[in-house]
Structure 1
Amino acid sequence: MKLKILLLLSLILGVTFSCSEASGTRTLRLGHGLDVSHSVHIAMVKMGEDLERISDGKMKLEIYPSQQLGTERQCLELLQIGSLDMTKVSVGVLENFAPRMKVLGLPFLFRDRQHSFNVLDGPIGQGLLNGGEKYWLKGLGYYDAGSRSFYTKDKPVHTPEDLVGQKIRVMESVTAMDMVSGLGGSPTPISWGELYTALQQGVVDGAENNPPSFYLSRHYEVCKFYTLDEHTVLPDVLLAGTHLWEKLSNEEQGWLQQAVKTSVAYQRTLWLEAENEALEAVKKAGVEIIRPDKTLFADKIEDSFDKYKEDEEFYELITRIQETK
């Protein structure tokens, strides 16, 4: 069934792509899973406007939000076979396609937001983006997705011990599953689109995500406890398929990179506003905001990096990130 869906999307998008090129304008299709009110989508709209302006109408962007073209995993697969041009995914999902990316999903890796930006916007972040090309994925930039924290239905989480026995939804990410297990919870991978129903029906007891995602998904209607332990700073990654990238001229690549750079900067300003607004909104809706002692969570899994010592190159990458000013 999954293969049939991908093939059908491939056929539809392939035909449309051919038509758009024949008209003399290169129209790029970007699929993602977020709501249209999300800061990332709004920044993508700006990217499309900038791209059309910069290219004098020679390049345009069509955006398909809210999983119209499939889940994050499916969009990545469509990029790999050349049937979708661009997508935005969480690093947590991307690590299944570009393994080195999993370093960004390690808990309590970054000291603060600025530290994460210094890493992502510097040579380490660029190296990770470039590393996806061997998997037919061209990394273009990082959107801010803030810090991820736990939210639960029935039992508030003040310490890691409160996670024991609780089924916590995670992305299809080994690092996310290891993190929840290390803190005492039971990690349960479920797709984002199915999570609201899973919470309602008690398939899981809670999940973990950033404030805007918690709010815009309306998960606060089911989960009334939000614990700001901020265990991971997991960025969103904007990608193009190498099938597309290699078709673009140097000039077209430059136009796209310029539009992406402006979009990323714009989204990061929007994110801070969205984060504060989301916390205020869920609080008004009756959610209890819990600000725990984060060191209890960090100390619980302080040895989580040790398992990577056998991979010297990867462990060196962790050290370089930690030592970045």
Structure 2
Amino acid sequence: MIILVILASVFFHFNYSKDSSATKILRIAHPLSDTHPLQKSLEYFARIVEQNSQHELTVEIYPNGQLGSDYQTIEQLQYGIIPMTIVSCGPLESFIPQMQIFGVPYLFRSREHMFKALSGPVGRELLETGLERGLKGLCFFDAGARSFYTSKTPIRSIDDLDGLKIRVMKTSMSIKSVQAMGGSPAPIDYGELYTALQQGVVDGAENNPPSFYTSMHYEICKYYTLDEHFRIPDILLISKLRWNRLSQEEQKIIADAAQQCSAYQQKVWAEFEEFSMEKLKSSGVEIISVNKMPFVQRVQPIWNQFTGTEIGTWVHRIQEIQ
């Protein structure tokens, strides 16, 4: 912790000169490749910020986990070492308990339902839940629906999932959900997953179409079951320490650019998702449609455990949105 504090003070001194005319550098870290649609969206965000600030604010993007894993970059934001990051709301539940809401399986009925919720009071309130932990949410990004893909055993019904070892994110909600559906969850680091699939350490994994395609996991897994159990958005975060050092005008520029970027990213994502599905099909992956109701029924105990809790209240509010 002492090292982090020292590093934070060094970064503050380096990035924010006492000379008010000095350019302020906003570094954004993310774990995905520089060919992922997220990178394209962040480049759009950077252009807006730099243009609207007359280049008094400069955005530098660091893809491929150059500045650390999701957990490491979140911690660095809390101490102001890195100004900004984009992470999945999945691992964020370890820092902001309210983010567990996104790990409730089958929470959203569709992409449209999700963004109707996230663009309204529910979404705005969720973006503020990290302030006490040094994290300010700026906007949500589409990360599609997560579905199962397997190497040898196709999942054509809920019973086919029984006993299969499935790689999941290192979150309690991901582990509980796969367990509830009958699978054996294996929280392996994403960077180790290709080898784990190749060596048969796991039978499969779960993710959205673009990630399944760009990871090249389709070279091993030839079955993709569209059960769409999770819709976990990504979130653009800024360090509260860094945010408070910006002028009100600079804060408005960044906040407005984030909202424009979110709308742009949703379009870019939809296009790349369609492209990814076509590529998966042409690569010999069997796309399997299933009856989702048995999957939904298996995870009802997870819904029930939140009855009478804060997460249960969030669930109820989201379900009420038509």
Q: TM-score, normalised by structure 2?
A: 0.95
Give 2:318's aligned residue.
321
Q: Is the 8 A contact 1:168 1:188 kept in 2?
A: yes
Partner amino acid for 1:21?
Y
Shift of 1:238: 0.7
Give 2:54's aligned residue.
56
Shift of 1:10: 7.7
- In 1, distance between residues paired with 2:6 and 2:289? 46
- In 1, distance between residues paired with 2:293 and 2:116? 23
User: Secondary structure of 1:304's partner?
Assistant: helix
CA distances 1:225-250 after superposition (whole Å, capped 9, x unpaired): 11110111110011011111111111
Q: Is the 8 A contact 1:33 1:68 kept in 2?
A: yes
Give 2:14's aligned residue.
19
Equivalence map 1:4-15=2 (5 Å): 7=3, 11=7, 15=10
Q: Is the 8 A contact 2:100 2:311 kept in 1?
A: no
Q: Is the 8 A contact 2:28 2:62 kept in 1?
A: yes
CA distances 1:131-165 after superposition (whole Å, capped 9, x unpaired): 11111110111000111100111111111211112
- In 2, distance between residues paired with 1:228 and 1:21? 48
- In 1, distance between residues paired with 2:239 and 2:219? 37
CA distances 1:50-104 after superposition (whole Å, capped 9, x unpaired): 1000000100110100111111111101111111111111111111110011112
Structure 2 residue corresponding to 1:250, chosen from 248, 251, 266: 248
Equivalence map 1:76-155=2 (5 Å): 76-155=74-153
1:10–1:290 CA distance, 2 compared to 1 (3 A): farther
Partner amino acid for 2:78?
Q
Equivalence map 1:149-168=2 (5 Å): 149-168=147-166
Shift of 1:303: 3.3
Give 1:44's aligned residue.
42
CA distances 1:181-237 after superposition (whole Å, capped 9, x unpaired): 000001111222222122222222111110001101111112111111011111001
User: Secondary structure of 1:303's partner?
Assistant: helix
Structure 1 residues not aligned, in runs of 5+: none
- In 1, distance between residues paired with 2:5 and 2:289? 44
Q: CA RMSD in A?
A: 1.8
Q: Is the 8 A contact 1:71 1:191 kept in 2?
A: no
User: Secondary structure of 1:305's partner?
Assistant: helix
Q: Is the 8 A contact 1:9 1:69 kept in 2?
A: no
Shift of 1:304: 2.2
- In 1, distance between residues paired with 2:305 and 2:122? 21
Partner amino acid for 1:319?
H
1:185–1:257 CA distance, 2 compared to 1 (3 A): same
- In 1, distance between residues paired with 2:6 and 2:95? 19
CA distances 1:242-284 after superposition (whole Å, capped 9, x unpaired): 1111111111100111111111111100111111110110111
Q: Is the 8 A contact 2:4 2:76 kept in 1?
A: no
Structure 2 residues not aligned, in runs of 5+: none
- In 1, distance between residues paired with 2:89 and 2:133? 15
- In 1, distance between residues paired with 2:78 and 2:306? 28
- In 1, distance between residues paired with 2:97 and 2:104? 13
Q: Is the 8 A contact 1:228 1:289 kept in 2?
A: yes
Shift of 1:306: 0.5
Determine what percentage of the aligned residue pairs are the same residue. Answer: 45
- In 2, distance between residues paired with 1:317 and 1:233? 15
1:323–1:310 CA distance, 2 compared to 1 (3 A): closer
Q: TM-score, normalised by structure 1?
A: 0.94
- In 2, distance between residues paired with 1:176 and 1:8? 30
Shift of 1:121: 0.9
Shift of 1:7: 4.9
| Count of residue correspondences | 319
Give 2:29's aligned residue.
31
